[in-house]
Amino acid sequence: MAAGALLCVALAFLGCLVSSFPFIDEIYEGSPCPLEDGAIGVCKKLPDCAPRLNEVQAGRRSSDSSGRCGFTDFTEIVCCSLNISDKIGSRPADVACQQYYNEVTSEGVVFHILGGEATSPGEFPYLAALGYLETDEDTEGVIKYSCGGTLISSQHVLTAAHCVSNINDQVPIEVRLGSEDLESSDPIPQRIPISSIIPHPSYKRSVNYNDIAIVKLKTPARLTNTVKPICLQTKSLTTSQIPANASLVVTGWGATSSFGDGSTKLLKAAGLRFIEKDSCSKLYTEFRRLPRGLDDGMICALDSNTTRRADACQGDSGGPLLMLSENSQTVVGVTSFGQACGGPSPGVYTSVYSYLDWIEAQVWPDQASD
């Protein structure tokens, strides 16, 4: 009741601000704005506003459409409805999370990829491998698993956009679930064809921004003890309380040394810690694929053990950055890029929370905010 009263007061205060706000050139991202029905909205980039993005995809939006705030860096800023469900904790991702059975391994969580400790069987039942069809003469017709992903519903896998849209025009054709040995012929792993690939609409191959995508499976995965979805991070990492006993983990079948090939037989993981954005940005100032530097859609993480420097390598692209504790498991990031495997610079991950509206619009369109 108290929370509802506070929300009403907040909306009333916002209404006072909007009543005196000149909706002309001064409108910018984050500004209050009027919706078509007279309600109060907030200016957001088009790709971050699920209802407006749905209008575009359905062909119901044109240059004459209302609810426009302006442009920034050639991206349209639109008036988006306030996501009340986000404030009261009942957004689609939260509802889905309540339906998932998540079993957290409580035995010593000191995992790493570089350094090579194997994980326990079934420890990461949401981990997915994206399979690509080889076209070289010697290996033509062979499926090679070159990127990772995360099962976030029975029919959707979260991954990196550069895994599905790249300069080699390679796209995955299948997803492998419930597997710890990619070369095993064991019938237990599920190999499911991909029906559609959805990279973020603002992703461009030439830069590292908006490096996130969703892969839809042709048929839903059969949920078992070794195949089940994981919860998405639905609160900002800067405002949500991170449990003292939480561990930051990255998983995949990646390279086990800085110059080695990816592992096909062992599921690996790594213990990391968050790096502040300002500190991380200084290490990427000359990175040509970041002309605007690191943005709010990115998370930096690094192994705190300076003698080991565990990290996610190339073969782990698209795999999850996880936050594990005794009571929960959530995917907080998607492995995007780094300067060198196991080096002194942090790895950079696409923030799940920053793209939550877009993810929900693709995975749970009927439940996403209208």
Closest Cα partner for 333 from 316, 319, 315?
A: 319
CA 56 to CA 14: how far, in whole Å?
28
CA 26 to CA 3: how far, in whole Å?
32
CA 345 to CA 343: how far, in whole Å?
6
The CA–CA distances, whole Å, from 294 to 210, 282, 297, 301, 347 equal 11, 9, 8, 13, 12
Closest Cα partner for 314 from 294, 346, 284, 339?
A: 339
Look up 153 and say whether it is catalytic.
Answer: no
**Active-site entry in 31, 48, 112, 162:** 162
Q: Which two tokens stand for residue 333?
A: 């990031």
Closest Cα partner for 318 from 147, 127, 89, 85?
A: 147
CA 370 to CA 368: how far, in whole Å?
6
CA 77 to CA 48: how far, in whole Å?
9
- List the beta strands (DSSP E) in the chain: 32-34, 40-45, 68-72, 75-81, 127-133, 143-153, 156-159, 174-177, 190-199, 213-217, 231-232, 247-252, 268-275, 298-302, 320-324, 329-337, 347-351
**Under a CB-based contact definition with an 8 Å cutoff, are residues 252 and 127 in contact?**
yes
Type of residue found at 358: W
For residue 314, give every residue at least 6 positions away whose Cβ sits within 8 Å of its Cβ, in sequence order, or none.
Answer: 254, 255, 262, 341
**Active-site entry in 31, 202, 211, 369:** 211
How is the chain split among helix, strand and coil, in percent rounded to 5? Answer: 20, 30, 55
HSE on the CB side for 36, CA within 13 Å? 8
Look up 211 and say whether it is catalytic.
Answer: yes
Radius of gyration of the chain (CA): 21
**Active-site entry in 153, 317, 336, 369:** 317
- The SS3 of residue 46 is helix
- The SS3 of residue 101 is coil
Positions annotated as catalytic residues are: 162, 211, 317
